[in-house]
Structure 1
Amino acid sequence: MSYLSELEPREPAGRRLRERLAQPGILRLPGAHNGLAALQARAAGFEGVYLSGAAMSASMGLPDLGIMTASDVAFFVRQVAGASGLPVVVDADTGFGEALNVMATVRALEAAGAAAIHIEDQILPKKCVHLSDKRLAAPHDMAAKIAAAVRARTDLLVIARTDAVAGEGLDAAVARARLYREAGADAIFPEALTDAAMFRAFAAALPGVPLLANMTEFGRTPPFTAAEFEDFGYAMVIWPVSSLRVAAKAQEELYATMARDGAATAMLPRMQTRAELYDTIGYFRYEALDAQIARSAIPASPEAATATSASQETRRA
């Protein structure tokens, strides 16, 4: 219940993320595409979450082609960080422009609650790195953006993402990563590596540099566990779109069921109950903040009422 009840000053999100990264063990960051998903991730025990550009775009009904604005992203950051109180690593695409635009983006997203952002070395129109025909920025142009981001931040971590492996090869991607690190990047995110040997080689080429691994489904990277990424030499791992994919599939099935049956009854076993939802979002704790609000009573479901009636009849008999 982070929005209202945790009113005492809290250490900035970026500082909390730095402290966690200084501790042993890989930081697991599941994707959380809205505030409710972030609360569920926190309840499962995760120490931070990731906000994916692809998930945000899809939530808006848009493709991940750089159509979103920094203001759109800030809206999602306020939800996810505000609801969960967890450090949030945010996909800031290409920074939404050049150096001055990047500085404005950093200020806006840090003010919204981001603990870290990553900026990628593509040019617009950008594409998901796991697809073909990406166009890369010149290395020194990208380094200038990283330097601008570092200059604009207060506590937020700046992560440089390089998408160069697919088009330029591993050595070129490593060279870019070193340049971005010299420009001030706190961590490096090498995207779309295709096997364990490549992950190990990249880490070996950048000793001591915190690295982020992406475990997205249906992409170029084969499935690895968090423990395997840690063994490869990575400090963070994200599952960027998993929560959205599961939720979207469930919604698809719900709407098909309703269109077929004229009712949602067949999907009841797969639904979160009202009581479970209220527990997740802290409904009654919000009511308790204002004594003028009477505690709400959750209505009994028809199924529960039927079961109660049957039980009473049995006792009378």
Structure 2
Amino acid sequence: MSDFLGSPTPTRPRLRQLLDSAAPVLAPGAYDSLSARLVEAAGFDAAYMTGFGTSASLLGRPDVGLLTATEMTDNARRMAAAVDVPLIADADTGYGNPLNVIRTVRDYERAGVAAIQLEDQVAPKRCGHMEGKAVVPVTDMVAKLEAAVAARTDPDLLIIARTDAAAVDGLDAAIDRALRYADAGADLLFVEAPASIDEVRAVATRLKGHRLVFNWVEGGRTPPVPLDVLGELGFALVLFPIGALLAATRSIQDFLATIVRDGTPAAALSRLPSFDEFTGFIGLSEVNELGSRFADR
């Protein structure tokens, strides 16, 4: 994990190397710096800043386009600084027209992310597994992606193009859009919410030769697909966007229910990390050492 005083690890070339390997890169969703550190500590090679989780964490509200570009970028900056693994960051629709996308890409790049995800929904967007989505004309999204590619100053920053057209215009239209997005310079293609394993296979077959993203949304509209099948189909990146958020929510609910029932949390403490374990995990010993090193003399 990232040291409090240390040189940042260059993560963008590392993500490109990982995506070139035979096995898919697994990126669990994180929504703040602590959850990102937990993803890294578990041994994963990458983390995904989920917009769904960021909205839930920062606002306590659903992912329906309520967050601003500034709020999302600030979260990405804190998360990228907390870990030494590549951070893949949701950037929603780019927060406006191609000019806005240029600023978004530059801001996310400065924030330290290894990849930025842009989608073709109409603003305000919605979570890709919710009803009521709409997509912009394909030419509008192509212009945004061309702007995104032109805006990056580091060629190792990856641009992920997501299309939500499958739920609006059908799978064929979504795949056609993805091909247009590849022509516009996108590094990875992300067809959101295929509704069956046959549709997942169709995406992989028709987009073969491109780096593909699979969104393993816990409880979402896409059926669960075994990892070995995703590997055989050629998916390069697999996201698990909201499982950590759901797990944290249920754990907090259970902990609070214990206090409501018993008047104290005593019965729940055996299931929790100790105070010393937790402070050790978040780097208290390093901070104390640095405090002593730079103390007033």
- Larger mean Cα displacement after TM superposition, 238-247 or 122-131: 122-131
Give the SS at the match of 1:291.
Answer: helix
Aligned to 2:271: 270
Aligned to 2:189: 188
TM-aligned CA deviation for residue 289 of structure 1: 2.9
Structure 2 Cα separation of the partners of residues 154 and 45 of structure 1: 30
Indicate which of 27, 33, 36 corresponds to 2:34: 36
- Residues 183-234 of structure 1, C-alpha deviations (whole Å, 9 max, x = no match): 1100101110122221121111122100000111121111123222112220
Aligned to 1:2: 2
Bigger Rg, which one: 1
- Matched residue pairs, number? 292
Aligned to 2:237: 236
**Counterpart check, 1:92 vs 2:128:** no
Unaligned runs of 5+ in 1: 295-317
Aligned to 1:300: none
TM-aligned CA deviation for residue 77 of structure 1: 1.1
Aligned to 1:153: 152
Q: Structure 1 vs Structure 2: percent identity of aligned residues?
A: 42
1:17-56 matched pairs, under 5 angstroms: 17-56=15-54
**Counterpart check, 1:214 vs 2:212:** no
Contact between 1:52 and 1:240, CA under 8 Å: does it hold in 2? yes
- What is the identity, as a one-letter code, of the residue corresponding to 2:178? A
Give the SS at the match of 2:22.
Answer: coil
Contact between 1:40 and 1:280, CA under 8 Å: does it hold in 2? no
TM-aligned CA deviation for residue 149 of structure 1: 0.8
Aligned to 1:131: 130
Q: Using a 3 Å threshold, how does the CA distance of structure 1 residues 10 and 257 change in structure 2: closer, same or farther?
A: closer
Give the SS at the match of 1:77.
Answer: helix
TM-aligned CA deviation for residue 108 of structure 1: 0.9
Give the SS at the match of 2:185.
Answer: coil
Structure 1 Cα separation of the partners of residues 153 and 18 of structure 2: 18
Structure 2 Cα separation of the partners of residues 4 and 269 of structure 1: 30
Structure 2 Cα separation of the partners of residues 75 and 225 of structure 1: 34
- Residues 240-264 of structure 1, C-alpha deviations (whole Å, 9 max, x = no match): 0111110011111222222332211
- What is the identity, as a one-letter code, of the residue corresponding to 1:46? F
- What is the identity, as a one-letter code, of the residue corresponding to 1:20? L
Give the SS at the match of 2:89.
Answer: strand
Aligned to 1:307: none
- Residues 140-160 of structure 1, C-alpha deviations (whole Å, 9 max, x = no match): 101111111111112311100
Unaligned runs of 5+ in 2: none
Give the SS at the match of 2:235.
Answer: coil
TM-score, normalised by the number of residues in structure 1: 0.88
TM-score, normalised by the number of residues in structure 2: 0.93
Structure 2 Cα separation of the partners of residues 87 and 127 of structure 1: 25
Contact between 1:27 and 1:237, CA under 8 Å: does it hold in 2? yes
- What is the identity, as a one-letter code, of the residue corresponding to 2:142? A
Structure 2 Cα separation of the partners of residues 89 and 227 of structure 1: 22
TM-aligned CA deviation for residue 279 of structure 1: 2.5
Structure 1 Cα separation of the partners of residues 127 and 38 of structure 2: 26
Give the SS at the match of 1:237.
Answer: strand
Give the SS at the match of 2:162.
Answer: strand
TM-aligned CA deviation for residue 97 of structure 1: 0.8
Give the SS at the match of 1:289.
Answer: helix
- What is the identity, as a one-letter code, of the residue corresponding to 1:126? K
